[in-house]
Amino acid sequence: MSHAPAVTAIDPEVRDWPASRRVEVDEALSHYPNRRSAVLPLMWIAQREWGWLSPPVLRLVARTAELPEPEVFGIATFYTMFNLRPVGRHHLQVCMTISCSLMGADRLFRHLERKLGIGHGETTPDGRFTLRRVECLAACGRGPCMQVNFDYHENLDEARVDALLETLT
C-alpha cells in the first residue's frame, strides 16, 4: 500500500484550538463529568478543523482531554473513521459488505480505481478524491452504497457514479 501524498498542509507546530473552534470544544467538554470522556467528540472537532488527525493534533487532543498521549493515539487508531493520514476533499467510502457486494460493489470499486487511477487508501494527486473500502454502512436495502464525506449515495452503478463524480469538484 503506497502512502497517500500529503494534500492537507498542516502546521506541525499546531499548539492550540483556533478561536473559531473554542465554543465547540467547550461545549463537548461540558457534556461529561470529566475531561477524558470528551476524547471522541474532541477528535471529531479536530478532524473537522484539520481534515485528519496528525500527531501534533492528537497531542492537542490529549492535552485538552488530560489523557496520556499514547492512549489518545491508541483510541484514534481503534476507530476506522478517524483519518490518520491526509485525505482528499471528497472521501469516497465504498461499502463492501454482503448486500452491497452482491449488488456489484466490487465491480463498482474496480471502476473507481480505474477511473481515478488510485487504489484503496490512496488520494488523487490533485487532492480531490480519496478512495476507501469500508464495512457495512447500514444501507443494505439500497446497495451498492458509497459514502462521500458524510453523505450517502445509494443504488449506484458505473453511470451514476460517473455522474456523481462530475458534481464533486
Number of H helices, E strands in the chain: 7, 4
Q: Which of 80, 90, 76, 73 is nearest to 146 (CA)?
A: 90
User: Which residues between 61 and 80 bind other proteins (CB under 8 A)?
Assistant: 66, 68-74, 77-78
Closest approach of Cβ 67 to other proteins, in Å? 9
Establish if 18 lies at the interface with other proteins (CB under 8 A). no
Closest approach of Cβ 76 to other proteins, in Å? 9
Residue 136 dihedral angles phi and psi, to the nearest 5°: -40, 125
Closest approach of Cβ 71 to other proteins, in Å? 5
Residue with Cβ nearer other proteins (74 or 117): 74
**What is the rounded CA–CA span in Å between residue 124 and residue 135?**
22
3-state secondary structure of 92: strand
Count CB-CB contacts under 10 A for residue 65: 24
What would the x/- binding string for other proteins be over residues 76 to 115, using CB under 8 A? -xx-------------------------------------
Which single residue is written with the C-alpha cell 493520514? 85
Closest approach of Cβ 36 to other proteins, in Å? 11
Give the footprint of other proteins on this chain (CB under 8 A).
55, 58-59, 66, 68-74, 77-78
